[in-house]
Structure 1
Amino acid sequence: MPSAAERTRTLVQSTCSSVLLVPGLPASGWDRLVPTSRSVGPDGDLFVELPADSPVVRAAAHAEADELAAVLEITDVAPVSVPHRIRGRARISGWLTTVPGLSGPGRMTLRLETDELHVEDLWGAEAVDPEDFRDAAPDPFVVHETELLQHLHAGHGEQLDMLCALLGERAARRCAAHRPSVVPLALDRFGLRVRVREDRHRCFDARFEFPDPVRDITGLRHAMHTLFEAAVR
């Protein structure tokens, strides 16, 4: 499974929504607290860009040295329609400073020196060591996961439904009693997670591991073909 540090790094470098909060600073003007970009520096610090008139930017500009505490909150929502769509959250706290000269007119880049990190997602809840976060790499499909899941959902529904055959006797009985809707929920280099919706009120998750970690679209295509072939045997 991906480590907590890798999962956090993946969330940071994904297109998930985020908000940058400063304790004690009013959260009015919510749109001014949403970074337009996020990146990770070589030391594991975060660089986020916000409107120059954001209250967070003003607070960072007037803070002494690096004494302004801040928290970046990231929320990961499934890109396809499923019950309970929030897949995970990450909180990264640290010390905020401005980095003039990196952004265009009307924007400002802020540096968040990471201090504490925490992730809560489909794998569980864990604290993340800043050094582990610094050294981790995002999942290779972080940029394409949304498109890939939407493609699977729109174009391979019948094949996804057949995956019930791989879920064991108990799941097979449940699938036979209530023809389920199998929706792709998450994808990483180690495997595919689906949410099996039996009816309006009941659902459960299942995860299918790939024989070997995949690194690119070619490897993913082969892994998915192998998975679907196994379901029809």
Structure 2
Amino acid sequence: MYAHTRDGEPTPAQRVRSVVEAADSLTVTTDGHSIGLVGLHTVDAAGGLTLHDPPGEHLGAELDAALDGTLPAVVEFTDVAPVHLRDRVRARLSLHGWLGTAADRGLHLHLHTEYAVLAEHGRSRRIGVDELVRAQPDPLARAEAELLSHLDCAHDAMVRALARLAPADVRAAAVRVRPARLDQYGITLRFEHAGRSHQEVRLGFGRAVRYPEEVGEEIRGLVVGRV
């Protein structure tokens, strides 16, 4: 279950851009092979994805054998919460398109994305490339893991204060509360129940933040009731 206390959250296209921006690892699947890569990709300002020197010769061989010099591929990402939760997988993302050579030195492959499929909150959405090009990653995407981990480990009293902003019935059923998501528009808390179920409550900031340094002020503003 998922609840909101204020308006404002990233669009699906923004979520796609943010997941790709923050990811350290991915899986590339072609008709012939599937390979996991860690720390071997970069993302440009327009969201373009480039794979750098993937190990083995499979992708290069498949690309060489392709008649038109392109290779249909699916690139998959898993968005995992940086704090310890029962179910840490927050979203699964797949980019569908084709790979082509991106440079003449080494094996650098650029993914020409046709569309993305984002699965989160129990449903899947297909996002076209035009939406992805217009969207921007969340400014906290790369800092979210560090910010959430710090809040979870060093500011338990602040988390409890934030939890008191959730509806009373949500609080009453919870046995544990953890920060689960953070973006420029707000923070999401996970209320875990005695069984395997949980509920998430989103607390919207008073304004959209632009830099990680502004997060603390907005969280304190939520606690003291600033509108």
Distance in 1 between residues matched to 2:115 and 2:177, nearest whole Å? 37
Q: Does 1:86 align with 2:89?
A: yes
Q: Contact 2:28–2:76 at 8 Å: present in 1 too? A: yes
1:113-128 pair list within 5 angstroms = 113-122=112-121, 124-128=123-127
Query: Would the aligned equivalents of 2:171 and 2:191 in 1 still touch at CA under 8 Å?
Result: no
Question: 1 or 2, which has the higher helix percentage?
Answer: 1
Partner of 2:168: 169
Alignment partner of 1:83: what SS? Answer: coil
- Could you say which structure has the greater relative contact order, defined with CA pairs below 8 angstroms and 6 or more residues apart? 2
Match in the other structure for 1:182:
177
1:68 to 66, 71, 75: 71
Q: Residue 153 of structure 1 corresponds to which residue in structure 2?
A: 152
Q: CA RMSD, aligned part only? A: 2.3
Q: For residue 72 of structure 1, what is the amino acid of its counterpart?
A: V
Query: Partner residue of 1:144?
Result: 143
**Structure 2: runs of 5+ lacking an equivalent:** 1-8
Structure 2 distance, partners of 1:172, 1:100, is 54
Q: CA deviation at 1:170?
A: 1.6
Retained in 1: the 8 A contact 2:51–2:109? yes
- 2: CA distance between counterparts of 1:76 and 1:68? 25
CA deviation vs aligned residue, 1:52-97 (integer Å, no higher than 9, x gap): 5341232123323344200101111111110111010111111111
1:39 counterpart = 2:43: yes
In the alignment, structure 1 residue 15 sits paired with structure 2 residue 23: yes
TM-score by length of 1: 0.84
Q: State TM-score, norm by structure 2.
A: 0.86
CA distances 1:185-212 after superposition (whole Å, capped 9, x unpaired): 1100010011112335342211101111
Cα distance between partner residues in 2 of 1:190 and 1:67: 39
Asked if residue 191 in structure 1 is aligned to residue 186 in structure 2, the reply is yes
Aligned residue pairs, count: 218
Q: Structure 1 unaligned runs (5+)? A: none
The answer to whether the 8 A contact 1:35-1:48 is kept is no
Shift of 1:172: 4.0
Q: What secondary structure does 2:22 align onto?
A: coil
Q: Distance in 1 between matches of 2:65 and 2:39?
A: 19
Give, in angstroms, the shift of residue 35 of structure 1.
Answer: 6.0
How far apart, in 1, do the equivalents of 2:123 and 2:184 lie?
Answer: 18
Determine which of 48, 59, 62 is the counterpart of 1:59.
Answer: 62
Deviation at 1:215, TM superposition (A): 0.8
Give structure 1 regions of 4+ aligned residues with deviation exceeding 6 angstroms. none
